[in-house]
Structure 1
Amino acid sequence: MKTAISLLIILISSLGFSQNDKSDTITIKGIIFSEVDGKPLGNAYINYTSKYKYSMTNENGKFEYKYLKKKKDLNEKIEISALGYEKYDTIIDLNKDDIIDLFVVLKTRFGLNRQKALEDINQGEINILLSGGIAPVIYKGDKKFTKKYQVNFIEYGCEAISERSLIEYNQTVFEYLDKKFGEKWRKEIRDDVSGL
């Protein structure tokens, strides 16, 4: 009988604690999008600064985090980042709702997109962007290609560039080259150019 009463007391106590824990838990969730194509952005990091905790978006750009709130917590600074995108910071009020939905569009670093490519073309700067490592890679035929088609190869080296923005920028330049030179340039360009 003592064992049954002890188990009942433990069960009631744990239910009481779990209810308190539930009221102190806030669900922070959302979807992160890329400004390049408006599609969800996988592998974006969400940093909850006061907790030193992270979560990450899935392939659909979604994330969810159960935030255990302490009594003194009033708000939380959240930093969202992804490779090749500008960091986004926001502060959320922890006393407002039990579920907080965030919908964020991340901007690309360097503003590389279709619009930037069109602006560069209009200014006579015909650039083909390369994503590389620390040391730039230069091929034997690069000098001949750039002179013949009046383009520049720009390599960002170890700077993180969004692959989506790189492709969108380059594809806009490729449309320009197709109109000006036909498609013969495609057989002469180096193989490691994104967006071909």
Structure 2
Amino acid sequence: MAVSATLHCLTGCAIGEIAGLMIGTAIGLSTGWTIVLAVALAFLFGYTLSTLPLLKAGLGVGAALSVVLAADTLSIATMEIVDNAVMAIIPGAMDAGLVNVIFWVGMMIALTVAFFAAWPVNRYLLQRGKGHALTHEYHGATSVSTGLRRFIPSFSTGALVATIAAFMLGGLVVSIADEMKTGDSGGGHAAQVVHE
């Protein structure tokens, strides 16, 4: 269960991190502000992915958020600290543009290391009835969702992980193709790709 909880956390963090980096790069934010945006979005998406099943199971928004904040904050914080630390120590990864192999390889390495850092945290919390143990009773609830709750999507952890992996591999392939075409290693953090 700790592996599943960590993978679930990883998907929210990855969505937020990548979205934040893409938005920050697109609007020309500095590296520091891009990291702030990426971390904020990682928490937002992480909490959202954990809140949706609770809402579908019948909890109110306030109760669901209360459970999720207690369950996921330590795991997401661990993942974000490690993820950003790894990206910072990989030469050029923090300043790499989105169409740059080092960005995508660095992100894959950082998220993998972050998974292995957060997994023991989740395991420790689960063994003490905390963390994802707080949300577990609501996942896969047998009651039929009614009203607007029936439209709340249900995403399996496997589907989320597969989607993130496919997206990251797609980014890597595009970066490799761009480097083969231009013959260089891409631009800096906010570099624009200009094709003639």
Structure with more of its chain in strand, by fraction? 1
TM superposition score category, shorter chain reference: under 0.3
| Higher CA-based Rg | 1
More helix by share: 2
- Give the TM-score taking structure 2 as reference length: 0.24
**TM-score, length-scaled by structure 1:** 0.24
Determine which structure has greater relative contact order: mean sequence separation of CA pairs < 8 Å that are 6+ residues apart, divided by chain length: 2
